[in-house]
């Protein structure tokens, strides 16, 4: 490809070209990481949180960059290669990377799911249903990336950066996937990671308080999520939780929007929800007037929404609803989402591990638990470090309101001081209700199990499926479910009152 072609392709995104020279340089790869830069590469300079490659322009030229794309001034007279100034380097990275990989998403039916909570559940459910129709699908998200037989666990980001994304799309087409189902985080939308691709279906589950460390305001967070709908293919459809999202905020024609929820106006309406410890069932009324009974092992009103999202999306892709319902009934759930630790039942109480780490998710978790529990709710939770501090007291308020005993502990403090996180949490807790502060998570879980009587439920929230905790610079193995099992197996036996 030649630089002039890039400039033409980027159109209005180009602000200025300096050092144009007489030759139109040709390059064979677009690179944005100096560590991978080779001769005959076009280099995109990005200012990140840890590294700013605008500052090493001279070195980039020496290493063989035939031209640079930049968004900040490069004032180094020794840099003589052409510099294309653009408004957003990350946007250009996304666009050019997809161009280099020849837009593999065009050969796939692409489904993007955004929202504060529910993304992993919805994407995994859709993946499960499509698999049970023997359709080949790729799944990209927080827990794992699956492409064909390849499973990549613990991905660095929920939504990959442009290069990784393009590679996953390319591999999907190579392995003959038909569907590409992915979680699309607000960070990725805000940072233009997915700007190069287009979706056949965009789903939004809800937007509630989270990530206000990264997003300056809630409005910015909300608007980032809405960007998903500007990335729909020409006839792409939006599947929207009509109870939570104002469809007027989605700027596509109404006939391309399908809603779901409990509300009377919903295209896919949930009715007669019945929840038990082993699962739930409800009816879905479709926009075509038909009505279908859904049984699922997932539990909770929030999961009824998640299922309805999957149903609406799949039905809009012309899958038969009775078949969808059958496939949903065999879905075992997502690890770490309202997951019972079955080993506890023999002691007469329940233990549930859940990934709730926002005020809204905690509320949904506790309300569901309350419906199932005659005894007390004993909640163990903390808050992650390096993330939205403002949500901490709000999480505690909700916790105090809906549980009987709250045990505040460490979640994933990272570089933050665990004591400070606990102070933030404690500031929101109801001081007139029983609560404990036990920084060590294993000890907190152990105490919760010791406090539990028959018919109580111990809820361990925040880490879900995760199998590590980051304390300072150290990453230690830690999985809530395993820890519960270990405690029940050993130490706990001595504490239990028979
Ligand atoms: C704040 C944030 O989102 N950071 C993301 C960002 O990193 P960054 O821009 O800060 O990276 P950087 O290290 O400063 O590098 C900047 C640029 O210089 C280049 N570089 C770097 C080093 C070098 O020697 N030479 C060089 O050229 C890099 O290739 C990059 O292009 O771009 C990286 C590549 O896309 C991401 O992996 C990284 O996510 C970090 C790991 C992260 O934790 N992000 C979280 C906040 C996040 O995005 N989370 C959401 C989900 C949240 C949720 O839903 O709960 C997600 O989608 O994952
Ligand atoms: N539709 C929903 N509404 C509110 N809370 C939900 C909903 N679905 C799931 N949750 C809560 O959020 C937690 C995480 O669910 P899930 O992993 O599906 O969401 P996510 O959007 O992928 O989360 P994250 O972005 O943090 O990875 C669940 O354990 C549950 O507590």
Q: Is residue 333 part of a domain?
A: no
Domain count, the chain: 3
Residue 73: CATH number of its domain: 3.40.1390.10
Looking up tokens 């960070």, which residue turns up?
187
Rg (C-alpha) for the chain, rounded Å, is 25
Q: Please indicate, yes or no, whether residues 152 and 298 belong to a single structural domain of this protein.
A: yes
Q: Is residue 334 part of a domain?
A: no
Element (H, E) at 174: helix 162-174
Q: Please indicate, yes or no, whether residues 406 and 281 belong to a single structural domain of this protein.
A: no
Each residue of 421-462: pLDDT tens digit? 999 999 999 999 999 999 999 999 999 999 999 999 999 999
Q: Please indicate, yes or no, whether residues 313 and 348 belong to a single structural domain of this protein.
A: no
User: Is the CB of 305 inside a 6 Å radius of any atom of ligand 2?
Assistant: yes
For a substitution probing ligand 1, which of 35, 38, 42, 49 has the most ligand atoms within 8 Å of its CB?
Answer: 49
Q: Please indicate, yes or no, whether residues 235 and 153 belong to a single structural domain of this protein.
A: yes
202 closest CA partner among 123, 139, 272? 123
Residue nearest to atom 38 of ligand 1 (CA): 157
CB atoms within 10 A of CB 443: 13
CA angle 195, 199, 201 (to 5 degrees): 140
| % of the chain beyond a pLDDT of 90 | 96
Q: Which ligand approaches the C-alpha of residue 57 most closely?
A: 1
356 closest CA partner among 465, 217, 448? 465
305 CA: nearest ligand 2 atom: 1
Each residue of 202-211: pLDDT tens digit? 999 999 999 9
With a cut of 60, say whether residue 496 has pLDDT above it.
no
Residue nearest to atom 15 of ligand 2 (CA): 118
476 closest CA partner among 418, 420, 428? 418
185 is an annotated ligand-binding site residue: yes
Q: Please indicate, yes or no, whether residues 161 and 234 belong to a single structural domain of this protein.
A: yes
What distance in angstroms lies between residue 447's CA and the mean position of ligand 2's atoms?
26
pTM of the shown model: 0.95
Distance (Å, whole) CA 376 – CA 457: 6
Q: Please indicate, yes or no, whether residues 124 and 58 belong to a single structural domain of this protein.
A: no
Q: Please indicate, yes or no, whether residues 198 and 288 belong to a single structural domain of this protein.
A: yes
88 is an annotated ligand-binding site residue: no
User: Is the CB of 140 inside a 6 Å radius of any atom of ligand 2?
Assistant: no
Looking up tokens 């005993």, which residue turns up?
405
Distance (Å, whole) CA 399 – CA 79: 57
Q: Please indicate, yes or no, whether residues 427 and 356 belong to a single structural domain of this protein.
A: yes
Distance (Å, whole) CA 446 – CA 432: 23
The boundaries of the domain holding residue 112 are 104-328
Each residue of 75-130: pLDDT tens digit? 999 999 999 999 999 999 999 999 999 999 999 999 999 999 999 999 999 999 99
159 is an annotated ligand-binding site residue: yes
Distance (Å, whole) CA 132 – CA 331: 10
Q: Please indicate, yes or no, whether residues 156 and 177 belong to a single structural domain of this protein.
A: yes
Q: What is the dihedral of CA 414, 419, 420, 425, to 10 degrees?
A: 100
What distance in angstroms lies between residue 371's CA and the mean position of ligand 1's atoms?
41
With a cut of 50, say whether residue 497 has pLDDT above it.
no
Out of 328, 357, 388, a domain closes at 328
Q: Please indicate, yes or no, whether residues 304 and 352 belong to a single structural domain of this protein.
A: no
Out of 46, 70, 100, a domain closes at 100
For residue 427, give the DSSP letter: T
User: Is the CB of 306 inside a 6 Å radius of any atom of ligand 2?
Assistant: yes
Each residue of 335-365: pLDDT tens digit? 999 999 999 999 999 999 999 999 999 999 9
What distance in angstroms lies between residue 99's CA and the mean position of ligand 1's atoms?
21
What is the value of ipTM here, to two decimals? 0.96
Distance (Å, whole) CA 446 – CA 436: 13
Q: Please indicate, yes or no, whether residues 379 and 473 belong to a single structural domain of this protein.
A: yes
Out of 328, 359, 384, a domain closes at 328
Residue 264: CATH number of its domain: 3.40.1190.10
120 is an annotated ligand-binding site residue: yes
Q: Which ligand approaches the C-alpha of residue 243 most closely?
A: 2
What distance in angstroms lies between residue 157's CA and the mean position of ligand 1's atoms?
8
Q: Is residue 160 part of a domain?
A: yes
193 is an annotated ligand-binding site residue: yes
Name the pLDDT band for 498 (thresholds 50, 70, 90): very low
């Amino acid at each position: 490809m030649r630089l002039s072609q890039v400039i033409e392709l980027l159109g209005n995104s180009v602000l200025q070209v300096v050092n144009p020279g007489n030759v139109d340089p040709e390059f064979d790869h677009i690179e944005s990481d100096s560590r991978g830069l080779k001769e005959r590469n076009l280099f995109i300079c990005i200012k990140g949180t840890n590294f700013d490659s605008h500052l090493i322009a001279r070195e980039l030229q020496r290493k063989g960059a035939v031209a640079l794309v930049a968004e900040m001034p490069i004032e180094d007279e020794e840099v003589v290669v052409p510099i294309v100034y653009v408004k957003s380097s990350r946007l250009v990275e996304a666009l050019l990377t997809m161009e280099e990989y020849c837009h593999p998403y065009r050969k796939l039916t692409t489904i993007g799911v955004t929202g504060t909570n529910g993304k992993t559940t919805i994407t995994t459910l859709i993946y499960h249903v499509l698999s049970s129709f023997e359709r080949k699908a790729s799944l990209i998200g927080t827990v794992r990336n699956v492409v064909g037989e390849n499973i990549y666990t613990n991905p660095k980001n929920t939504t990959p950066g442009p290069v990784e994304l393009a590679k996953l799309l390319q591999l999907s087409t190579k392995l003959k996937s038909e569907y590409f189902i992915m979680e699309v985080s607000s960070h990725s939308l805000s940072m233009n990671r997915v700007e190069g691709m287009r979706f056949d279906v965009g789903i939004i589950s809800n937007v509630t308080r989270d990530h206000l460390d990264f997003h300056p305001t809630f409005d910015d967070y909300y608007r980032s999520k809405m960007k998903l709908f500007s990335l729909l293919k020409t006839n792409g459809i939006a599947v929207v939780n009509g109870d939570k999202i104002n469809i007027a905020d989605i700027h596509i024609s109404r006939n391309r929007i399908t809603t779901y929820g409990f509300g009377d106006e919903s295209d896919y309406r949930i009715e007669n929800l019945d929840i038990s410890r082993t699962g739930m069932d409800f009816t879905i009324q479709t926009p075509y007037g038909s009505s279908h009974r859904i049984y699922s092992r997932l539990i909770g009103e929030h999961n009824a929404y998640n299922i309805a999202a999957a149903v609406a999306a799949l039905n809009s892709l012309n899958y038969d609803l009775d078949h969808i319902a059958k496939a949903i009934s065999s879905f075992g759930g997502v690890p770490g989402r309202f997951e019972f630790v079955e080993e506890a039942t023999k002691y007469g109480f329940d233990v549930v591990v859940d990934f709730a780490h926002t005020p809204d998710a905690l509320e949904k978790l506790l309300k569901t638990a309350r419906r199932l529990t005659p005894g007390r709710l004993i909640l163990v939770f903390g808050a992650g470090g390096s993330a939205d501090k403002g949500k901490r007291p709000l999480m505690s308020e909700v916790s105090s309101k809906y549980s009987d005993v709250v045990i505040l502990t460490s979640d994933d403090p990272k570089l933050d001081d665990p004591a400070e996180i606990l102070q933030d949490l404690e500031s929101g807790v109801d001081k007139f209700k029983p609560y404990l502060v036990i920084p060590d998570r294993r000890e907190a879980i152990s105490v919760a199990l010791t406090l539990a009587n028959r018919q109580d439920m111990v809820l361990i929230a925040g880490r879900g499926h995760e199998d590590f905790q980051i304390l300072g610079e150290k990453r230690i193995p830690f999985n809530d479910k395993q820890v519960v099992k270990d405690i029940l197996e050993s130490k706990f036996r001595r504490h239990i009152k028979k």
